[in-house]
Each structure stands twice: as structure tokens, then as C-alpha cells.
A and B are shown apart, each in its own frame.
Chain A
Amino acid sequence: MRAPLGSWSMAFAAAMLATILAVIIVVPLLPFYDPYEQDIMSGLLRPGTEQDGRLYVLGTDFLGRDMLSRIALAGRVSLMIALSAVAISLVIGVLLGLLAGWFRGPVENLVMGLADLQLAVPRILVVIAVTAVLGPDLVTLTILLGLTSWVSYGRVARAMALSLREREFVLSATTQGAGTGWNLRRHVLPNVMPQMLILASYELGQIIVIEAALSYLGLGVQPPVPSWGLMIAEGQQFLEVEPYLSLLPGLAIFMLVAGAQFLSQRFTPEGAADADLTALRRRR
């Protein structure tokens, strides 16, 4: 089936993604890279300003810190959090989903009950409540985002395991003496994984957005470590005079998330929306 959006938009998405990834990877290797050095004398320099023989490509923030360096480091922080959280939730979701779909009965009821409980509260509210108590911290945030994001994988994995366990190749393996572990590992898991990875590429964007929102609220990444959400919040007080302070990190989020999600569309006709629908239908 043809991708819903034309191939030139795919090229554009790929270019956006490549650009922001290049900034994240290459900038920290350059000689001027320093996301922390403060210099009040060169605070709030507009993008492209040259001062003391040095070009500030994206300008400086209110403390005179180099915006380009900070955006690059913030990207690393965001990606690290999001990738780890996606990995955690993927493992939990696939494991629980496969067990639920394979064993049915009480296991299935327990897992689906957990999923319903999880869905009964907005994800961001859970993270806010826990952060309120444990204090904002990078590792806590990552683990929390991972623990609260497994439901979509779990649901789809369960639905797929339900139908896979009845398939001939599994029955054939079972009649030849294959146990549960062998069947799940060798026959079910490989068939579930492609779908899971598509979901993951969609979830990656979502988690980056949630992390940015939490950091914006002051409940995520803590200063002086930069984060795109935090940079937007810091820039908001200068919105009337120097809007670039908020716009640049916002643009960075957009490039990364939009790029990833456009590309993930390439692999599914209607993408995640379709996956949502499928998951819901199978809920009943």
C-alpha cells in the first residue's frame, strides 16, 4: 500500500531528522562546544552575532551560554531518556502481553486489569505525583516513563499472541515436543517484534514530548543540565523581546519528533492511528 503522504514529504522528514541528529552528534565534537560556560557580558546575543572573535550561530541565553551547544546537549539528554524509557516499556509490554496471550486465564486477567488501571489515570499525572514525592531526577524520570508506557505494547502483543498460538507452525512445534519457552522465543516473539518496533518508533516521539512538557513544568530535567522543555520555559520570560530563546528548542523538538513520526508512517499505511484502532477493537 502506498504511503499516505507523498515521497517528497518523506524526503523532507528524513532531512529534518538528519539535520537535528547531526546537530546532536556533531556539535559536541566542535572546539567551541560548551553548554555550561556563563558570561553575563554576552547574554541574550541574537543568533548570528559575532563577539570577541567568536560567532554565536544560534545566539546565547540570558546567562550568556551558547544556545547551539545547549540545544545539542539537551538533544542528547532527551534522546537518552526517551530511548531508555522506550526500551524499558517495550520489554515489560512484550513480556506481559505474550504471557497474557499465551496462558490466558488468570494471567491474562491480571495483565489486562493492570493495563486498565494504568489507563485509568493520565500518564503525565502519575509522573507528576511520583516526581512530587521522590523529587525530580533523571533516572527516576526515565524509569517512571518506562514503567507507565508499556500498555500499548502489552495490548497489541497479547492480541497477536492470541492468534499466533493457534497457528500451524506453533502446533507443529508443540507436537514435536517444544515447550512454552521455546515456542514463545522461537515462534511467537519474532512474529510480534516488527509490530512492536513500529509502535516503539511512534512512542519514542510521544515520550520526547512528555519529557519536554515535564521539564517545562520544572518536574523533569533539572538545571544546569539543559533540556528542550526547560529551555522553552527559561525563554518564556523573554518572549516579548527575544522569542528565539523559546522558538529554537521548540523547533528542535519538532524536527526530531516530526521526523521520527513521518518516517514511521512509511512502515504502516495509517500508522499509529491504525494501531490504536486495532488495539481498541481487540480490547473487547
Chain B
Amino acid sequence: MTRYLARRLVQAALTVFGVVTAVFFLVELSGDPAALLLPTEATPEDLARLRESLGLDEPLLVRYLTFLGNAVQGDFGDSFRQRVPALPLVLERLPATIELALSAFLLGIGMAFAASLAVRLTRSERLRTGLLWVAFTFQAIPTFFFGLILILVFSVWLGWLPSLGRGGLDHLILPAFSLATFELALYLRLLNSAFLQEQTQDYVRTAYAKGGGRAWVLVRHVLPNALLPIVTIAGINLGVLLGGAIVTETVFSWPGVGRLIVQSVSQRDYPVILAGVFVISLVFVVINLLVDLLYAVLDPRVRYS
């Protein structure tokens, strides 16, 4: 287990390193950011001065090594636009993104569990088909478009909920629900097929034979086994959720990391983009690591060597 943990940690670190390196060289490909920052009437001397102050006049390898050295210390350079360190700028947006992603995650998986359990307990074919319909429908609606429909109905027409920004719980409802529907669809389908597969196993028949009631067998025996694939998907999906949050944040003007990255892209504010990509991939890698470890706890048969 310790060796496995060590290997996974090294793997995770390598992944983050790979991502950051890739983004650095991409930014290099894009040409001269100094030229973008100055007004068109700037003289060549102005340009040279700015390049020097930004450290752009060094050779590529030197800049890359400097960049790596600084990045290890959490320094991604100053934002071109705001003239303040980029990483704190990103980190100060992180709570908003985590708040949104986590509420959407819990909301989505909670609704999916409630619905699937209801289907298994009632054994209603009509309910099952209806829910699958809902799942398929939601999976075909882009999250950002569904968000827009929510705004239209609940903010514009009914006037019940605010459509923009972050604040109290009422600000969270629409974006979280909109992001959760994507989750809901996936988990409904997964839980449905996982339950179906587990339901035919021998241990279920044994549990019934021992006199277990339907609800007891379902919750005590089937659920833990059906949970296993869901945990893996949920872990991977939490990252997708972070990606989806990028778009949802823009729809609802939610002040999170995703919206910051999108804004920085249009302003060509590379240090902020770099720091943002770094933070999101770090979160993603850590989640995946935790999921793999959780997997070992949930399934005693999984022994990592």
C-alpha cells in the first residue's frame, strides 16, 4: 500500500508538471505578450523596456527554468492587466468554484440516488422508463443552455431567484441546479445499470433466502456493491464538473476560477491563465488520487501492490 501510494504521488506530481510545462510552451508559441500590452503608438524603446521588466528578453530555456523555479514557490508572475501576483488572484476565486462544484455534485448524486432507490423499491417499470427519459433528455441539453432556460423561467418570468453573481443561498440555487443536471443524468444511467447487474447476483438471492426484506437487501447488500463503479466515475467526473463549472460560471456571472480563466483568455493575461490551469489540474489530480485510495477502502478485494 505504501509503495502504491508513493507511486501514485509521483505520478500525480508528474502529471501536474507535464500540464504546467505544456501550457508554458504553448504561451511561448503565441508570440510577444509585451506587444499586446502597449498602446499602438508605443516606441520600440518602450517595448524593449517592458520586455526587460517582464523578463521576456532572456533565452527560452532560462525563462522556462526561472518559471519552474518560481512556480514551485507558488509564484506564477504578475497579472499583465492587474499588476498583482497571479496565483493569489486565482486562489481568491477558488472558494466560489468549490462551493458551486460541490453543491452541484451533492445535489446531482443525491437526486440520482433518491430516484434510483425509488425505482428499485417500487419496481415500477413506468417510473424507471420515465427517469431514463429525463436522464437522456438532460444529457442532450448543454449545461449552459439549460442554465439560460433556468434564468429565463425563474429570474425573468417568475422573478423568484437572482440570475447573476454570488451571494446568499438564493444565488447558489440556479447555477448549482443547472450544473447538477449533467451529473444527475450520468448517475441515473450508471446507478440504473449497476443496480440491474447486482440484482441478479447470487448473494442477493442468498440475502432474500435468509429472510431479508426488499429495502434491507437493497440498502445493506446491493447498494455497497453498486456504489463501487459510481465512486470511480464520480471522482473522474468531479473534474469534468470543474470543467463544466467554467461554462456555468460564465452563464451566471459566478465569480469563480473558470470565469477568471475565460476573462483572462480574452485579455491574453497569460500568468493568470497559467495559474488557473495549474490550480484546476492540481485539484483534479488530488481528487483522482483520493478516489483511487477510497476504492481500496470500499472494495477489500482491491489490494494495491
Contacts and interface: CB of A to CB of B under 8 A. Distances in A.
Interface in A52-77: none
Contact of B29 (A5, A124, A134): A134
B133 interface: yes
Contacts of B281: 120-121, 125
Contacts of A262: 136
Contacts of B229: 277, 280-281
B261 A128 contact: yes
A88 interface: no
Summarize B's interface: helix, strand, loop or mixed.
helix
A3 to B, nearest CB: 10
A257 B136 CA distance: 10
Interface in A231-260: 232, 236, 239-240, 243, 246-247, 250, 253-254, 257-258
B243 A212 contact: no
Interface string B15-26: 110110001001
Interface range, A side: 35 or more
Interface residues of B, number: 61
Given A129-B273, A133-B29, A9 B151 contact: no
A225 interface: no
A119 interface: yes
A130 B142 contact: no
B25 to A, nearest CB: 9
A236 B148 contact: yes
Contact of A277 (B190, B242, B268): B190
Contacts of B192: 270, 273
Contact of A280 (B19, B196, B233): B233
B189 A270 contact: yes
B288 interface: yes
Contact of A261 (B139, B268, B285): B139
B262 A128 contact: yes
B145 A250 contact: yes
Given A125-B280, A240-B156, A253 B145 contact: yes
Nearest to A265: B136
Interface string A268-284: 00110110110011001
B152 A239 contact: yes
Contact of B27 (A133, A250, A254): A133
Contacts of B280: 121-122, 125
Interface in A203-242: 205, 209, 212-213, 216-219, 229, 232, 236, 239-240
A205 B244 CA distance: 16
A191 interface: no
19 contacts: A6-B129, A119-B236, A120-B288, A124-B247, A125-B261, A128-B246, A131-B265, A132-B30, A133-B26, A134-B30, A212-B145, A213-B142, A217-B247, A219-B265, A232-B148, A239-B148, A246-B145, A247-B149, A270-B196
A4 interface: yes
A250 B140 CA distance: 10
B247 A213 contact: yes
Interface in B145-193: 145, 148-149, 151-152, 156, 186, 189-190, 192-193
Interface in B85-117: none
B240 interface: yes
Interface string A1-42: 000111001000000000000000000000000000000000
B277 interface: yes
B26 A130 contact: yes
Contacts of B16: 120
B254 interface: no
Given A122-B284, A250-B145, A257 B247 contact: no
B64 to A, nearest CB: 15
A274 B148 contact: no
Contact of A124 (B246, B273, B285, B288): B246
B19 A120 contact: yes
B225 interface: no
